Homo-oligomer: A and B are copies of this chain.
Amino acid sequence: MKKGRVTIHDIAKHLKLDSSTISRALNDSPRVKEKTKERIKQVAKELGYKPNVMAANLRTQTSKTIGVIVPWISRYFFSSAISGIEEVAYSKGYNVIICQSHDEYDREVANAYTLFANRVEGILTSVAMDTVKYEHFEQFIEEGIPMVFFDRHAPEVKACSVVIDDFNTAYKVTAHLIKQGNDRIAHFSGPGNLNIYKDRFNGYKKALEDYGKVFDPALVFESRLLIEDGIEGIKHLLSLPNRPDALFSSNDLAAIAAMKYISQHTEFSVPEDISVAGFSNSPSASIIEPGLTTVDQSGEEMGKIAAKRLIDEIKGEIDKCTNEIITVNSKIIVRESSVKKVAKLVK
C-alpha cells in the first residue's frame, strides 16, 4: 500500500536538512533562503511529493472543508447553487462535501452528523421539507461553526440566510396575473413549515387583497410540489364548480406538470383559459410551449454569495451573524403562459 508515500521527511533526508525547513519552504515561509527553497522544491518535484492535507489539517486544527446539505442534487436550482458554491470554495482553497437530504428529516440529521465528524469549518444548507426541529443545526452554532442557509432557511437558528424576497416576488407575480385580467387565481403552495412557501403564499394573498380580489382558500392547494402533486392539484382545481382562471405555483415542476396535464387531458388551453406562472426558472420553463412565466432565482449566484459569506465568517472577517438576511435580487420572467392577449411580451 503505497499512497503518495513521499513525505517531507524523505525530502529532508535527501537534502540533509530538517523536515521543518522543508515544511517552511513548501509553504513559502520568508524564513528560508531563496536558494534552499528552490533546491527543496526541485527535489520535491523529482520525488513526486504531494502534500498530505489530512495531516496538515489535523495539525492546524482545520479541515479546509465546507459541508453542503441540499434536498436533491439533481434539481436544477440546487445543482446550479452547488456549482456556484464550488466555484467560490475552490478558489479560496476549500473543499466541498455535498450531502443530500432527499427532503427527509432523518437524512438531514445524519448528514449533519457526518459533516460534523469530518470537522467541516462551515455549513451551507437549504433545509428539507420534512424538517421542523433544528437541534441538528444548533450543534454547529454551539461549537462556533458558521452556518449559512440559502433559499430554504430556518429563522429559528441563529445564522445568516441568503434568500430572495419571496413575499414581494410572489406579490408581483400575482399582481401580474391580475393585471392580465384574471379574477380567480389559484395557488400551489409548499409545506407550511418552510418559510419560503409561507412567504410566497402571503405575498400572493396580499396582492389579491390589494387589488380587490377575493381570497378563496379553496383555490390554495398545498403539497410537496412534485410532478404528481401538480397533476393532482390541477385536476382538483379544474373540478371545482367555480374553477380558477389562473394558477401561481410555488415551483416550476408542479406548474409544468399542471400545464402538461391541461394540454393533454383537458379542453382548456394556456393561457387563454387558464394562465400559469411558476417559480425558479428551471431550464424546462423555457422549453415548454407556451413558455412558462416564472421567477429567475439564480441558483448559481445565491450559491456564490452564500459561500462567500460563509468563508468570510470562517475566516473571522465578518462576525457570525444572528439571523441576518441577505436578499438577492430575483426577476420575473414573463413568457407566454401568462399573457392573455398574444401580444408582445414585456421583458
Q: Which A residues lie at the B interface, using CB under 8 A?
A: 1-4, 50-55, 57-58, 61, 63, 72-74, 76, 79-80, 82-83, 86, 90, 95-100, 113-114, 116-119, 143-145, 256, 260, 283-284, 287-289, 300
The reply to whether A3 and B119 contact each other, CB–CB distance below 8 Å, is yes
- Please determine whether B117 and A50 come into contact, CB atoms closer than 8 angstroms: yes
Q: Say how far A245's CB is from chain B's closest CB, in angstroms.
A: 23
List B contacts of A57 (CB < 8 A): 54
> Given the complex of chains A and B, what is the CA–CA distance between A80 and B52 in angstroms?
31
Copies in the complex: 2
A143 with B3, Cβ < 8 A, contacts A90-B114, A117-B52 known = yes
Are the C-beta atoms of B90 and A82 separated by less than 8 Å? no
Of all chain B residues, the one with the shortest Cβ separation from A98 is: B98
Pick the contact of A2 from B2, B97, B143, B289 — CB < 8 Å? Answer: B143
B50 touches A116 (CB 8 A): yes
Docked complex Cα distance between A197 and B260 (Å): 33
Measured CB to CB, the nearest residue on chain B to A257 is B287
B residues near A95, Cβ cutoff 8 Å: 97, 114, 118
Q: Is the CB of A100 within 8 A of B80?
A: no
How far apart sit A27 and B300, CA to CA, in the bound complex (Å)? Answer: 41
Q: B117 to A53, Cβ gap below 8 A?
A: yes
A51 to B115 alpha-carbon distance, docked (Å): 11
**Measured between alpha carbons, how far is A243 from B346 in the docked complex, in Å?**
36
> Given the complex of chains A and B, what is the CA–CA distance between A260 and B284 in angstroms?
12
Closest to A54 in B: B58
- How far is B84's CA from A74's CA once the two chains are assembled, in angstroms? 10
Given contacts A53-B117, A260-B287, contact A86 B99 (CB under 8 A): yes
Contact assessment for A73 and B86 in the assembled complex, using a CB-CB cutoff below 8 Å: yes
